[in-house]
């Protein structure tokens, strides 16, 4: 382990109270399962759309009635969930592709210059900064510690996973891999699990940063894993989905076929399904027990979007410009929205609304049709 460099954070005087149905982190929870506690039943109707400056490759998060999203114009932006109006915009050192993390009074996001930006949720004012040595493209995540402290963890193209103290921004530890960390680290039951472009999954003890297991995936992992107590699953650049017991350090199953198309989608994980998109236009529901296919859906272009499960439906975006609503039971498409530009990020669901961004920089909010 090495001492970390510098991250940028921003804070506000009054805490923003969280609502029960927040979506404060990429994929909705620290384990990155992509499963909502709310059920939004299609068809949905568009409540509003707003365009952020110069576009976005970030995914939105929602906390305290506010949407937080990074932009290609070096801004971290807060929007009102009700009507999409801009509440504040913080000028970061570089563009923000990483989905933000809402953590109490702070909103934290990685920049493409390696700066981790944390700002106050109330007004976007600066709190502290920490810098990695290369770009951060995946969302930061939160590791709770004994005594009420928390660590912020994020992966970087400097081949490291960085952990910093949430309240001070001071480096706690770093773990060095042998390849880029492109996705977000998942957190559950005291473990951090992150995929690397060195073809491995890393299982790390959250408090100490000690590498518990290094699991051979046999291919680069570009997206984020999903995690439960002793089960981690991720797609690979080599066209496989792998499931592992990260505590024991062993592969449980692999899904592959003769196609070989890469997986850049981060999976959603339910009690019995793994749901994931692929760069051949297919979206799969795999049985969690053994990785066999329960059903598949064919979009008109790559499915790099990461799915979100809401009750009996799954929502996923694709490069065909559509937000698809599929039946969780059989994969039948029951509704879609034509955004007109690729949707490669993850939806966020909170307070009865679904929010998604497209490649042209439009942020769309949906609610159930009346």
- Tell me whether residue 108 is in a domain: yes
- Tell me whether residue 158 is in a domain: yes
- State the average pLDDT for the chain: 93
Structure tokens at 269: 């994980």
The pLDDT, as a whole number, for residue 19 is: 38
Alpha-carbon span 169 to 165, nearest angstrom: 5
**For residue 212, which of 237, 230, 233 has the smallest C-alpha distance?**
230
How much of the chain, in percent, has pLDDT values that exceed 90?
91
The C-alpha angle with vertex 334 and arms to 332 and 338, in degrees rounded to 5, equals 115
CATH number for the domain harbouring residue 137: 2.130.10.10
SS3 of 96-162: the string is CCCCCEEECCEEEEECCCCEEEEEECCCCCECCEEECCCCCCCCCEEEECHHHCEEEEEECCCCEEE
The C-alpha angle with vertex 26 and arms to 127 and 161, in degrees rounded to 5, equals 65
Structure tokens at 86: 């801009």
pLDDT in tens, 6-52: 333 333 222 333 334 899 999 999 999 999 999 999 999 999 999 99
Taking a C-beta distance cutoff of 8 angstroms, is the pair 140, 8 a contact? Answer: no
The β-bridge partners of 63 are 66
**CA-to-CA separations, 208 to 147, 307, 346, in angstroms, rounded:** 15, 32, 30
Taking a C-beta distance cutoff of 8 angstroms, is the pair 153, 185 a contact? Answer: yes
- Tell me whether residue 338 is in a domain: yes
Structure tokens at 369: 């049709």
**For residue 134, which of 5, 25, 224, 3 has the smallest C-alpha distance?**
5
- pLDDT of residue 121 exceeding 80, the answer is yes
The β-bridge partners of 268 are 275
The pLDDT, as a whole number, for residue 9 is: 33
Query: Stretch 53-74: mean pLDDT, rounded?
Result: 96
Number of domains in the chain: 1
The pLDDT, as a whole number, for residue 370 is: 77
Taking a C-beta distance cutoff of 8 angstroms, is the pair 348, 354 a contact? Answer: yes
The pLDDT, as a whole number, for residue 53 is: 87
Query: Stretch 102-128: mean pLDDT, rounded?
Result: 96
- Tell me whether residue 177 is in a domain: yes
**Residue 79: how many CB atoms within 10 A of its CB?**
24
Cα distance from N-terminal residue to C-terminal residue, the chain = 54
**CA-to-CA separations, 199 to 2, 3, 144, 175, 191, in angstroms, rounded:** 22, 24, 28, 16, 19
Query: Stretch 159-179: mean pLDDT, rounded?
Result: 97
Taking a C-beta distance cutoff of 8 angstroms, is the pair 30, 68 a contact? Answer: no
The pLDDT, as a whole number, for residue 2 is: 37
- pLDDT of residue 127 exceeding 90, the answer is yes
**For residue 135, which of 165, 167, 160 has the smallest C-alpha distance?**
160
Residue 194 lies in domain: 6-368
- Tell me whether residue 1 is in a domain: no
- Tell me whether residue 25 is in a domain: yes
The β-bridge partners of 220 are none
pLDDT in tens, 235-279: 999 999 999 999 999 999 999 988 899 999 999 999 999 999 999
Alpha-carbon span 43 to 298, nearest angstrom: 20
pLDDT in tens, 280-303: 999 999 999 999 999 999 999 999
What is the CB-side half-sphere exposure of residue 316 using CA atoms within 13 A?
A: 38
3-state class (DSSP) for residue 354: strand
pLDDT in tens, 186-225: 999 999 999 999 999 999 999 999 999 999 999 999 999 9
The pLDDT, as a whole number, for residue 239 is: 97
- Tell me whether residue 139 is in a domain: yes
Element (H, E) at 163: strand 160-165
Alpha-carbon span 257 to 235, nearest angstrom: 13
Taking a C-beta distance cutoff of 8 angstroms, is the pair 23, 62 a contact? Answer: yes
DSSP structural state of residue 25: S
- Tell me whether residue 150 is in a domain: yes
Alpha-carbon span 221 to 223, nearest angstrom: 6
- pLDDT of residue 324 exceeding 80, the answer is yes
């Amino acid at each position: 382990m090495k001492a970390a460099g510098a991250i940028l954070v921003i804070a506000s005087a009054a805490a923003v109270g969280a609502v029960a149905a927040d979506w404060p982190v990429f994929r909705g929870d620290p384990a990155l399962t992509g499963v909502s506690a709310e059920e939004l039943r299609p068809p949905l109707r568009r409540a509003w759309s707003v365009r952020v400056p110069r576009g976005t490759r970030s995914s939105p998060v929602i906390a305290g009635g506010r949407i937080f999203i990074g932009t290609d114009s070096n801004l971290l932006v807060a929007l009102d969930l009700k009507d999409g109006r801009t509440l504040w915009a913080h000028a970061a050192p570089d563009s923000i592709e990483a989905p933000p993390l809402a953590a109490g009074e702070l909103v934290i996001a990685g920049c493409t210059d390696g700066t981790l930006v944390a700002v106050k949720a109330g007004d976007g004012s600066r709190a502290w900064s920490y810098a990695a040595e290369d770009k951060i493209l995946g969302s930061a995540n939160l590791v709770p510690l004994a005594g009420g402290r928390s660590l912020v963890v994020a992966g970087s193209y400097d081949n490291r996973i960085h952990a910093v103290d949430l309240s001070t921004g001071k480096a706690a530890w770093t773990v060095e891999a042998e390849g880029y960390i492109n996705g977000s680290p998942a957190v559950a039951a005291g473990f951090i699990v992150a995929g690397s472009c060195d073809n491995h999954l890393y299982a790390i003890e959250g408090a100490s940063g000690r590498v518990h297991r290094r699991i051979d995936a046999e291919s680069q992992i570009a997206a984020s894993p999903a995690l439960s107590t002793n089960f981690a699953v991720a797609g690979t650049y080599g066209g496989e989905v792998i499931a592992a017991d990260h505590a024991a350090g062993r592969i449980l199953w692999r899904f592959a076929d003769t196609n070989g198309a890469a997986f850049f989608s981060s999976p959603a994980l339910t009690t019995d399904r793994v749901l994931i998109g692929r760069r051949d236009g297919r979206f799969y529901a795999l049985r969690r027990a053994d990785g066999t296919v329960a059903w598949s859906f064919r979009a008109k272009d790559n499915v790099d979007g990461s799915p979100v499960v809401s009750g009996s439906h799954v929502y996923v975006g694709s490069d065909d410009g559509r937000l698809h609503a599929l039946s969780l039971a059989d994969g039948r498409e029951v509704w879609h929205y034509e955004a007109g530009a690729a949707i490669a990020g993850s939806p966020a669901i909170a307070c009865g609304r679904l929010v998604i961004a497209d490649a042209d920089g439009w942020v769309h909010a949906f609610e159930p049709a009346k």
